Structure 1
Amino acid sequence: MKARFLVIIIVLMVFVQCSSDDNSKKDAKAIRLRYLALGDSYTKGQGVCNSCRFPEQLKDSLTQNFRPFDIFTSTLIAETGWTTTQLKTAIASRNQNLKYDFVTLLIGVNNQYQNLPFSTYETEFPQLIEEAILAVDGNRNRVFVLSIPDYAYTPFGQGNSNSPQISTEIDQYNAFTQNYCESNNIQFLDITSLSRTGLTNPELIASDGLHLSTQAYSRITSLILPYVKNLID
């Protein structure tokens, strides 16, 4: 009789605990985070699988760091070869009023690669920043700008006779970007230094010999993740 009574007590305790856990989940407010990734081939993840690019890795990392019922979604507006002009056009064509919780912006390498006037970037990069700020309802603390990687430090770049000039021009773009971001209280994250280890660390370069690899995107994800978590906290 005592043994049967003890079993009943244990069953009741487990039932109460499970009910309490279920109620806690119902009472807890789920985090819903919407992420907008703006850019070119480096954001699209040219040369790697769709789940390997940094926006997807970032979304997956957030999912792993929070509760099972929290929801993280991402929207990608990025294509290989896009310049600032093409990204602006793509954003305008979406004609969407949906607001996001944070935005990443990585653009400019194709302006340099296509030898466009630097003045185009000087004009259009700030316009893209304004679009990004608008997407997060005016909160510039939720905009994260990534520096342009240096493709001179890839097998493709080394095959170019003017690889030193590539680096010099990339520096010019990044200097403008960093100065603009710092002057406007926007977070600027350096990934150029990582890309410049591509020749000594070939695992950071995708199989196409030009773009970044899954491992490189993992490092970029690790760089961005603390900032996003801080927003949530």
Structure 2
Amino acid sequence: MDVLAVLGRRFLALGDSYTIGEAVGETDRWPAQLARLLGREGFALASTEIIASTGWTTGELAQGIRLAGPRGPFALVSLLIGVNNQYRGRPIDEYRAELRELLVTAVDLAGGAARNVVVLSIPDWGVTPFAEGRERAGIARDIDSFNEVNRDEAARVDARYVDVTQASRRAFSEPELIAGDGLHPSAAMYARWAELVLPEARAAMTTG
């Protein structure tokens, strides 16, 4: 029996504050906006589930997934994680090792279909008002280094990859892309991310 046919096509978004949508409403989170875009293109989702929390690192996300016990297979699984590893000064080698484990989990939740997993790059929080007085260039270099890792690891398992970092950096000159807390993305920024993810999500839904 086709489990997806029974359960309907479902989307599971894994991550941290950027996925749970800190400082915006539930309908403005980028996974919710992506689900609406997919629906308009004929890829209706039975549900959009989120396992994410503000402040989570890779290790904390792994623990969160274990506690939540999501039931696959999901037609689409997204993974956006790592900014808190960078912010806390955690070793990049630790990030790589824990990200690899998360990717194994994500592929398993996608029913073993790596092409139904979409990895998003880490946004650059150094352009936000919260980073005022900090070494913005150093933050950008760190974020780029962490993104080299998640890009490589996504390619290693043949998952899809979407760069939202460059879009996030536009917030430096476009303040409307930052939420009222001065740190997290606004609904407008999340809309841009959803549009960037849409082609890969569409492809995953078509082939999955």
TM-score of the alignment, normalized to the shorter chain, above 0.5: yes
Give the corresponding residue for 1:11.
Answer: none
User: What SS does the aligned partner of 1:196 have?
Assistant: helix
Q: Give the C-alpha shift of residue 187 in structure 1.
A: 1.1
User: Of 172, 187, 193, which aligns to 2:166?
Assistant: 193
Residue identity in the other structure for 1:169: D
Residue by residue, what CA displacement relative to the aligned partner does 1:57-106 show, whole Å, maximum 9, x if unpaired? 11122223328xx5431110000000001000011112343321110100
Give the corresponding residue for 2:72.
Answer: 98
Residue identity in the other structure for 1:61: L
Q: Is the CA contact 1:59–1:72 (under 8 Å) kept in the aligned structure 2?
A: no
Q: Give the C-alpha shift of residue 182 in structure 1.
A: 2.1
User: Of 199, 209, 223, which aligns to 2:182?
Assistant: 209
Structure 2: distance between partners of 1:122 and 1:231: 24
Where do 5+ consecutive residues of structure 1 fail to align?
1-28
Residue identity in the other structure for 2:46: F
The share of aligned pairs that are identical, in percent, is 37
User: What SS does the aligned partner of 1:35 have?
Assistant: strand
Structure 1: distance between partners of 2:6 and 2:71: 23
Give the corresponding residue for 1:40.
Answer: 16
Residue by residue, what CA displacement relative to the aligned partner does 1:16-44 show, whole Å, maximum 9, x if unpaired? xxxxxxxxxxxxx9993200000000001
Structure 1: distance between partners of 2:144 and 2:45: 38
Superposed, 1:126-141 pairs within 5 Å as 126-141=100-115
Give the corresponding residue for 1:113.
Answer: 87
Give the corresponding residue for 2:203.
Answer: 230
Q: Is the CA contact 1:62–1:72 (under 8 Å) kept in the aligned structure 2?
A: no
User: What SS does the aligned partner of 1:197 have?
Assistant: helix
Superposed, 1:1-233 pairs within 5 Å as 32-66=8-42, 70-160=44-134, 162-233=135-206
User: What SS does the aligned partner of 1:99 have?
Assistant: coil
Q: Give the C-alpha shift of residue 229 in structure 1.
A: 2.3
| Alignment length (residue pairs) | 202
Residue identity in the other structure for 1:146: L
Q: Is the CA contact 1:31–1:71 (under 8 Å) kept in the aligned structure 2?
A: no
Query: Aligned-pair RMSD on alpha carbons?
Result: 1.9
Q: Is the CA contact 2:116–2:205 (under 8 Å) kept in the aligned structure 1?
A: no
Residue by residue, what CA displacement relative to the aligned partner does 1:162-214 show, whole Å, maximum 9, x if unpaired? 22211111111001111222233221110000111111111111111111110
Where do 5+ consecutive residues of structure 2 fail to align?
none
